[in-house]
Chain A
Amino acid sequence: MGALRDCQVDARQTEDGTPLPPRASSIIELLFPFFFQKREKKSRGEKMLVVRKKMLGQSLLIRPAVSVLRSYSSSAKQMTVRDALNSALDEEMSADQKVFLMGEEVGEYQGAYKISKGLLEKYGPERVLDTPITEAGFAGIAVGAAYHGLKPVVEFMTFNFSMQAIDHIINSAAKSNYMSAGQMSVPIVFRGPNGAAAGVGAQHSQCYAAWYASCPGLKVLTPYSSEDARGLLKAAIRDPDPVVFLENELLYGESFSVSDEVLDSSFCLPIGKAKIERVGRDVTITAFSKMVGHALKAAEILEKDGIDAEVINLRSIRPLDRSTINASVRKTNRLITVEEGFPQHGVGAEICASVVEESFAYLDAPVERIAGADVPMPYAANLERLAVPQVEDIVRAAKRACYRSVPLAAAA
C-alpha cells in the first residue's frame, strides 16, 4: 500500500512534513514499486543505486529515490544528535568571537563523547580549553569570564559532576542579574549528558532537571531530537542568561531527520516552547529528553488499543511551557507525565500541580506520573531496567488514565 502511494502524484506530505516522491515516470516504477518504496533507516541511496544500475541496461527513465532525496529542498537528511550539537557549537563559535568552550577533554581528546570533535583544530587552544578535573574551579572561572563579557560554554562530563560546581551555577550565575538589579548578566551555557546511561551505576546516573529547574534565574533545556539539539543549543549560546543544557548520552548516537531549515546556520528554536511531537485526542503524555522516544513508542502501542495519545516534547523545563501543556490537557482531559529522574519533587510533580491549578475542571482522571524508581541507580541489568521507565510503564499508566481499569484497592 505504501509503495503505490509513493508513486502517486504528490501534493501531499507525510505527517512530519517531508514531501513524498513524485509520480512514477515510467511503467517500470508502476510494475515494480517495491524497488522505489521509501524505507525507514536504511541506506536508501545505496540500495536505489543498485536498482538503477540494474535497470539502466534497459535505458529507462527512472527517477530513483536517491535523486529524490537530493532534489527536494526540505528532503529528509539524517543527522545524529552528536553531529547536531557539534555543528551548533561550530556555527556559534564561528559567528561570535566571544564564544568559547571549556571542559574536561573537550580539546585534544575531541570531547569525552566526541561532541566537540574538530573544534580545537578549527578554533585553537585559546577558544577550546582543556581543564583539569576541578569542576568548582573551572565553573567559577567560566562564570567570571561571563561577568566580563565573554560567552562561555562549559561542558560537564556528566551533570553528576556539576554538583561540585553547583554553587557557582546557582549563586554566582543564576542569581547575579537579580542581586545586581541588572548590572551583571551572565551569558553562560552549562552543558553535558544528564540522567542514566547504561550500567554506569548510582553515582553517574542522576537526572538534574528538577534541581536546576527549581531555581529562578536559570533556564533549563532538554533536547530530544537532532533538531532540538541544534536549535536549542544555538538559542542557549545566544541567550544572555545562564542556561543549563541537559543532553543524554544514549541519544548522542541516534539519528533523526533534519530539514534544510534546521541545517541553516541561523536556525534557532525558541526557549520556553514545547513541541507537540504527536497530535492526539485521548490522553496527553509529557516527556523530555530520552523519554520522548519512549512516549512516542508508547503512543504507537496505544493506538492499536484505540487510544490516541498526544505526545508533548517539553524541550524546556524552565521556563516550562505551561500553556501548551494545559491546552493539551483541556483537549484530552487526561495527563501522564514521564521523566527519568527521581519522582519526589520532580518535573512531573510540577506539571501535575500546574495542571491542577489551571485546568482542574478539565481533568477526567487523576494525573499519572511515570518516573525513575525512588532508589539510587542499581548496576545489575535487570534491576536497572526496573529503575528506569520502560515503554510498558507509560502504556499502562495511559490505560489507567483512560479506563481506570485498575480498581482502587480498599484498605484492609
Chain B
Amino acid sequence: MALSYLRSSSSRSVNLLKPLSSSLPLRRPISTDTTPITVETSVPFTSHQCDAPSRSVETNPKELLTFFRDMALMRRMEIAADSLYKAKLIRGFCHLYDGQEAVAVGMEAAITKKDCIITAYRDHCTFIGRGGTLLEVFAELMGRQAGCSKGKGGSMHFYKKDSNFYGGHGIVGAQVPLGCGLAFAQKYSKDETVTFALYGDGAANQGQLFEALNISALWDLPAILVCENNHYGMGTAEWRAAKSPAYYKRGDYVPGLKVDGMDALAVKQACKFAKEHALKNGPIILEMDTYRYHGHSMSDPGSTYRTRDEISGVRQERDPIERIRKLILSHDLATEKELKDIEKEVRKEVDDTITQAKESPMPEPSKLFTNVYAKGLGVESFGADRKEVRATLP
C-alpha cells in the first residue's frame, strides 16, 4: 500500500529543503520501500564531448536509507581508524576517505558486482562498498590474520576478487592502466560489464594514464576513468599541479562529465550514464568534485595547505551524509531519532568489530613465505639469515 503523497505531483517541484506535509500517523517500515522518488541533483552535470544526463535521479526510500547507513558506517570506520592509528595499532600508511563516501555508495548503486572497480590507496570505503566487511578492514589495518589480505597487504592493499574489486594500489597512477586492462578482459570475454578505474587529481597528470586512455579509445574498451578530485594531491593544490584542472576535459577526444561528488544521487546517475556509454562507445571520464576532511594521510594534518575555514565550510555546506539526511527528513522517510539511532547502531557495530579485530592474531611466522608464487615449484626461499631461516615455497 503506497503512501500517496510520495508519488504525487511533478517531482521537479520538490525542493529538498522544504519538508512535505504529512498527516499520516502510521508509517510503513521504510527499509524495504521501493516506491520511486525523483530527486534533482545539487547542480546540473557539465559535459565534454557528450550530452549530459538529466539531473533528475530516480531513487526510493530503501535506497536512500541504505545510502545513509552505508555512508555513516564508512564515516565512523574512518574516524575509528584515525584513533587506532594514533594508538599505534595501525602502522605505516593510512589514507582516510571521510568526506568522499558519496562516490563509493553512489557508484555501487549504479552497477553490479560483475562490474570491476580498481582504485589507489584510499581504498577502505571502496572495499566496504564492494561487500567487504568491517572486520576484514580493521583486521587488515592492524595486520591480523582476519584481514582481507591476511595481514600481508596493509591499508593500501585491500582486494576482493570475488566481487571484482581489484585493489588497493600504492603507486600513483598505476591503477589506471590496470583498470583499462580489466576492461580489456571484460571485452575479450564479451561480459557486457565495465570497469571503473578511480584515481585522484594528483594522479590525473600521470603519463601512463594517457597511454592507457589512448589504447582504450583505440580499442573501444569499456573503461570508465573516475577522477576523485578532492583538489589536493597530497599537499599540492590542483592549480599548482595541473595546467588544466578541468580533469573531465583532459581526455581530449574522450568524452567527460563533471559531477558533484558530494551528492550520492548525482554520482549514481553519472555512473549509470557512464556504464551505458562505455558499453556502446568506449572510454569516458567522470570527474567527481569531492573533498577529504582528513589530510592526505595520517602523517599530514591537512591544514598547512588549506584553511580550517575551507574544511569546515565544506562540512557545513556539502557533507554527503547531511545531504542524504536532509533528503530523508524532507521526504518524511524517517524521523531524526530513527536516523540518530542508525548512527548509534553503526557506531556500536564499528566499536564491536574493532574489539573483535584486536583479538585476531598476527600471521604465523611461516606465512612470511606463502603466496610469493601461485605455483612455487618447491623452490627455496630465505630469511634474513639464510643459514637460519629457509623455506620451501609450495
| Interface of A toward B, CB cutoff 8 Å | 100, 126, 129, 131-132, 134, 136-150, 167-168, 171-172, 176-185, 187, 216-217, 219, 239-241, 270-272, 319, 322, 357
Instruction: Write out the residue numbers on chain B whose beta carbons fall within 8 Å of the beta carbon of A181.
Output: 149-153, 370-371
Instruction: Write out the residue numbers on chain B whose beta carbons fall within 8 Å of the beta carbon of A142.
Output: 181
Ordered nearest first, which 8 A-B pairs have the shortest CB separation? A144-B181, A140-B177, A137-B211, A148-B185, A134-B211, A144-B178, A181-B150, A319-B379
Q: Does A136 contact B208, Cβ atoms closer than 8 Å?
A: yes
A140 to B195, CA, bound (A): 14
Instruction: Write out the residue numbers on chain B whose beta carbons fall within 8 Å of the beta carbon of A150.
Output: 184-185, 188-189
Contact of B371 among A132, A147, A177 (CB under 8 A): A177
| Interface of B toward A, CB cutoff 8 Å | 116, 118, 149-153, 157, 159-161, 166-171, 174, 176-186, 188-189, 207-208, 210-212, 214-215, 218-219, 370-375, 377, 379-381, 386-387
A270 to B211, CA, bound (A): 36
Q: Does B150 contact A141, Cβ atoms closer than 8 Å?
A: no
Given A144-B181, A184-B161, A357:B387 Cβ within 8 A? yes
A240 to B179, CA, bound (A): 20
Q: Does B208 contact A179, Cβ atoms closer than 8 Å?
A: no
Q: Does A138 contact B375, Cβ atoms closer than 8 Å?
A: no
Q: Does A141 contact B215, Cβ atoms closer than 8 Å?
A: yes
Contact of A177 among B170, B184, B185, B374 (CB under 8 A): B374
A152 to B144, CA, bound (A): 34
Q: How far is the CB of B304 from chain A (nearest CB, A)?
A: 29
Most buried by A among B180, B183, B184: B184
Q: Does A219 contact B214, Cβ atoms closer than 8 Å?
A: no
Contact of B181 among A131, A146, A241 (CB under 8 A): A146
Instruction: Write out the residue numbers on chain B whose beta carbons fall within 8 Å of the beta carbon of A177.
Output: 371-374
Instruction: Write out the residue numbers on chain B whose beta carbons fall within 8 Å of the beta carbon of A172.
Output: 169, 171, 174, 178
Instruction: Write out the residue numbers on chain A whose beta carbons fall within 8 Å of the beta carbon of B373.
Output: 177, 217, 219, 240-241
Task: Identify 6 residue pairs between A and B in the complex whose beta-carbon atoms are under 8 Å apart, listed by A's number.
Answer: A134-B214, A150-B184, A177-B373, A217-B373, A240-B373, A241-B375
Q: Does A140 contact B167, Cβ atoms closer than 8 Å?
A: no
Q: Does A148 contact B214, Cβ atoms closer than 8 Å?
A: no
Q: How far is the CB of A189 from chain B (nearest CB, A)?
A: 14
Q: Does A145 contact B153, Cβ atoms closer than 8 Å?
A: no
9 new A-B contacts at CB < 8 Å, known A140-B181, A141-B215:
A136-B211, A140-B174, A141-B178, A144-B182, A146-B181, A148-B116, A178-B152, A178-B371, A239-B375
Write the chain B residue with the least CB distance to A135: B211
Given A144-B177, A181-B150, A240-B375, A137:B386 Cβ within 8 A? no
Q: How far is the CB of A177 from chain B (nearest CB, A)?
A: 5
A146 to B153, CA, bound (A): 20
Instruction: Write out the residue numbers on chain A whose beta carbons fall within 8 Å of the beta carbon of B184.
Output: 141, 144-145, 150
Q: How far is the CB of B389 from chain A (nearest CB, A)?
A: 14
A220 to B387, CA, bound (A): 24
Total contacts A-B at CB 8 Å: 159
Q: How far is the CB of B251 from chain A (nearest CB, A)?
A: 14
A137 to B370, CA, bound (A): 30
Q: How far is the CB of A232 from chain B (nearest CB, A)?
A: 13
Q: Does A132 contact B211, Cβ atoms closer than 8 Å?
A: yes
A171 to B170, CA, bound (A): 9
Instruction: Write out the residue numbers on chain A whose beta carbons fall within 8 Å of the beta carbon of B182.
Output: 144-145, 147-148
Q: How far is the CB of B391 from chain A (nearest CB, A)?
A: 12
Write the chain B residue with the least CB distance to A239: B375
Instruction: Write out the residue numbers on chain B whose beta carbons fall within 8 Å of the beta carbon of A182.
Output: 370-371, 374
Given A136-B208, A180-B167, A144:B371 Cβ within 8 A? no
A141 to B212, CA, bound (A): 7
Q: How far is the CB of A80 from chain B (nearest CB, A)?
A: 29
Q: Does A178 contact B372, Cβ atoms closer than 8 Å?
A: yes
Instruction: Write out the residue numbers on chain B whose beta carbons fall within 8 Å of the beta carbon of A270.
Output: 377
Q: Does A140 contact B375, Cβ atoms closer than 8 Å?
A: no
Q: Does B181 contact A132, Cβ atoms closer than 8 Å?
A: no
Given A136-B177, A141-B181, A272-B379, A148:B149 Cβ within 8 A? no
Given A145-B184, A180-B153, A140:B377 Cβ within 8 A? no
Q: Does B177 contact A183, Cβ atoms closer than 8 Å?
A: no
Q: How far is the CB of B47 from chain A (nearest CB, A)?
A: 26
Contact of A147 among B166, B189, B207, B208 (CB under 8 A): B166
A322 to B380, CA, bound (A): 9
Given A178-B152, A216-B381, A240:B374 Cβ within 8 A? yes
Q: Does B185 contact A149, Cβ atoms closer than 8 Å?
A: yes
A185 to B371, CA, bound (A): 9
Write the chain A residue with the least CB distance to B377: A272
Most buried by B among A136, A183, A272: A183
Instruction: Write out the residue numbers on chain A whose beta carbons fall within 8 Å of the beta carbon of B170.
Output: 171
Q: How far is the CB of A181 from chain B (nearest CB, A)?
A: 4
Q: Does B180 contact A144, Cβ atoms closer than 8 Å?
A: yes
A398 to B340, CA, bound (A): 82
Instruction: Write out the residue numbers on chain B whose beta carbons fall within 8 Å of the beta carbon of A357.
Output: 386-387
Q: Does B372 contact A137, Cβ atoms closer than 8 Å?
A: no
Q: Does B157 contact A137, Cβ atoms closer than 8 Å?
A: no
A148 to B116, CA, bound (A): 9
Q: How far is the CB of B121 from chain A (nearest CB, A)?
A: 12
A167 to B178, CA, bound (A): 12
A168 to B212, CA, bound (A): 13
A138 to B184, CA, bound (A): 11
A175 to B159, CA, bound (A): 13
Most buried by A among B118, B208, B218: B208
Q: Does B372 contact A216, Cβ atoms closer than 8 Å?
A: yes
Write the chain B residue with the least CB distance to A321: B379
Most buried by B among A145, A239, A240, A241: A145
Instruction: Write out the residue numbers on chain B whose beta carbons fall within 8 Å of the beta carbon of A187.
Output: 374
Q: How far is the CB of A152 from chain B (nearest CB, A)?
A: 8
Q: How far is the CB of A308 from chain B (nearest CB, A)?
A: 30
Instruction: Write out the residue numbers on chain A whose beta carbons fall within 8 Å of the beta carbon of B176.
Output: 140
Q: How far is the CB of A171 from chain B (nearest CB, A)?
A: 5
A179 to B156, CA, bound (A): 10
A357 to B208, CA, bound (A): 43
Q: Does B212 contact A137, Cβ atoms closer than 8 Å?
A: yes
